Amino acid sequence: EVELVDSGGDLVQPGESLRLSCEASGFNFKTYAMNWVRQAPGKGLEWVAGVGGGGGNTYYADSVKGRFVISRDNSKNTLYLQMNSLRAEDTAVYYCAKARGGPGGRDYMDVWGKGTTVTVSS
Protein backbone atom coordinates (compact mmCIF):
# COMPACT_ATOMS: atom_id res chain seq x y z
CA GLU A 1 0.00 0.00 0.00
CA VAL A 2 1.26 3.45 -0.93
CA GLU A 3 1.53 5.55 2.21
CA LEU A 4 2.99 8.81 3.49
CA VAL A 5 3.41 9.42 7.20
CA ASP A 6 4.18 13.01 8.06
CA SER A 7 5.41 14.10 11.48
CA GLY A 8 7.30 16.76 13.41
CA GLY A 9 4.63 19.39 13.94
CA ASP A 10 4.71 21.26 17.23
CA LEU A 11 3.94 24.49 19.05
CA VAL A 12 6.85 26.90 18.63
CA GLN A 13 7.49 30.58 19.27
CA PRO A 14 7.95 33.15 16.51
CA GLY A 15 11.49 33.10 15.18
CA GLU A 16 12.13 29.48 16.11
CA SER A 17 12.87 26.55 13.81
CA LEU A 18 11.21 23.21 13.21
CA ARG A 19 11.85 20.22 10.92
CA LEU A 20 9.04 18.17 9.46
CA SER A 21 9.52 14.64 8.15
CA CYS A 22 7.53 12.44 5.81
CA GLU A 23 8.24 8.72 5.55
CA ALA A 24 7.15 7.08 2.32
CA SER A 25 6.38 3.44 1.63
CA GLY A 26 4.82 1.30 -1.06
CA PHE A 27 6.34 3.00 -4.11
CA ASN A 28 9.74 3.73 -5.67
CA PHE A 29 10.33 6.95 -3.74
CA LYS A 30 13.29 8.24 -5.72
CA THR A 31 11.35 8.25 -8.99
CA TYR A 32 8.74 10.76 -7.86
CA ALA A 33 8.87 14.43 -7.03
CA MET A 34 7.49 15.34 -3.62
CA ASN A 35 5.78 18.41 -2.22
CA TRP A 36 4.71 20.10 0.98
CA VAL A 37 1.27 21.74 1.00
CA ARG A 38 -0.17 23.62 3.97
CA GLN A 39 -3.60 24.63 5.14
CA ALA A 40 -4.09 27.40 7.66
CA PRO A 41 -7.00 26.98 10.08
CA GLY A 42 -10.27 27.33 8.20
CA LYS A 43 -8.50 28.25 4.96
CA GLY A 44 -7.68 26.68 1.62
CA LEU A 45 -4.66 24.80 0.34
CA GLU A 46 -1.32 26.49 -0.28
CA TRP A 47 1.58 24.80 -2.04
CA VAL A 48 4.75 25.44 -0.03
CA ALA A 49 7.66 23.64 -1.68
CA GLY A 50 8.59 20.87 -4.07
CA VAL A 51 11.64 18.74 -4.80
CA GLY A 52 12.51 16.61 -7.79
CA GLY A 53 13.04 12.90 -7.56
CA GLY A 54 16.81 13.17 -7.38
CA GLY A 55 16.71 15.91 -4.79
CA GLY A 56 18.76 18.38 -6.82
CA ASN A 57 15.91 20.59 -7.98
CA THR A 58 13.93 22.47 -5.36
CA TYR A 59 11.11 24.99 -5.68
CA TYR A 60 9.43 27.32 -3.18
CA ALA A 61 6.47 29.57 -2.73
CA ASP A 62 7.46 33.20 -2.34
CA SER A 63 5.95 33.20 1.15
CA VAL A 64 8.59 30.77 2.43
CA LYS A 65 11.55 31.35 0.12
CA GLY A 66 14.72 31.99 2.10
CA ARG A 67 13.21 30.59 5.31
CA PHE A 68 12.20 27.01 4.45
CA VAL A 69 14.33 24.27 2.91
CA ILE A 70 12.90 21.14 1.33
CA SER A 71 15.12 18.08 1.03
CA ARG A 72 14.92 14.33 0.70
CA ASP A 73 16.95 11.27 1.63
CA ASN A 74 16.19 8.64 -0.98
CA SER A 75 18.13 6.01 0.97
CA LYS A 76 15.63 6.46 3.81
CA ASN A 77 12.54 7.14 1.67
CA THR A 78 12.04 10.31 3.64
CA LEU A 79 11.12 13.88 2.75
CA TYR A 80 11.95 16.84 4.99
CA LEU A 81 10.96 20.45 5.45
CA GLN A 82 13.31 22.59 7.52
CA MET A 83 11.39 25.65 8.65
CA ASN A 84 13.36 28.59 10.02
CA SER A 85 12.36 32.04 11.26
CA LEU A 86 8.81 30.87 11.79
CA ARG A 87 6.02 33.40 11.83
CA ALA A 88 2.46 33.34 13.14
CA GLU A 89 1.22 33.16 9.54
CA ASP A 90 3.04 29.83 9.10
CA THR A 91 0.53 28.24 11.49
CA ALA A 92 -1.13 25.44 9.51
CA VAL A 93 -1.53 21.75 8.94
CA TYR A 94 1.36 20.68 6.72
CA TYR A 95 0.82 17.81 4.30
CA CYS A 96 3.46 15.96 2.35
CA ALA A 97 2.21 14.88 -1.05
CA LYS A 98 3.56 12.69 -3.84
CA ALA A 99 3.68 13.92 -7.42
CA ARG A 100 1.48 11.85 -9.64
CA GLY A 101 3.58 11.51 -12.74
CA GLY A 102 7.26 11.11 -11.95
CA PRO A 103 10.46 12.89 -10.91
CA GLY A 104 9.63 16.30 -12.36
CA GLY A 105 7.95 18.72 -10.01
CA ARG A 106 5.31 20.38 -12.15
CA ASP A 107 2.53 17.97 -11.35
CA TYR A 108 -0.60 17.03 -9.47
CA MET A 109 -0.51 15.23 -6.13
CA ASP A 110 -2.01 11.77 -5.89
CA VAL A 111 -0.98 10.54 -2.44
CA TRP A 112 -1.08 12.67 0.70
CA GLY A 113 -0.01 12.24 4.27
CA LYS A 114 -2.53 12.80 7.04
CA GLY A 115 -0.89 16.11 7.94
CA THR A 116 1.10 17.44 10.88
CA THR A 117 0.15 20.59 12.77
CA VAL A 118 2.51 23.52 13.19
CA THR A 119 1.46 26.29 15.54
CA VAL A 120 3.57 29.43 15.82
CA SER A 121 2.58 31.48 18.83
CA SER A 122 4.13 33.25 21.77
Partner 1 sequence: EIVLTQSPATLSLSPGERATLSCRASRSVSSYLAWYQQKPGQAPRLLIYDASNRVTDTPARFSGSGSGTDFTLTISSLEPEDFAVYYCQQRSDWPPLTFGGGTKVEIK
Nearest distance, CB of residue 101 and partner 1, angstroms: 9
Residues 79 and 21: their CA atoms lie apart, in Å, by 6
- Stretch of 18-26, 60-68, 74-82, 84-92 contacting partner 1, by CB under 8 A: 60-68
- The verdict on 2 binding partner 1 (CB under 8 A) reads no
Determine which residue in the list 10, 23, 61, 77 makes contact with partner 1, applying CB under 8 A. 61
Q: Among 7, 10, 19, 46, which residue interacts with partner 1 (rule: CB under 8 A)?
A: 46
Binding status of residue 44 toward partner 1 by CB under 8 A: yes
**Using CB under 8 A, which of 83, 113, 118, 120 touches partner 1?**
113
Work out how close the CB of 49 gets to partner 1 at its nearest, in angstroms, rounded to a whole number.
9
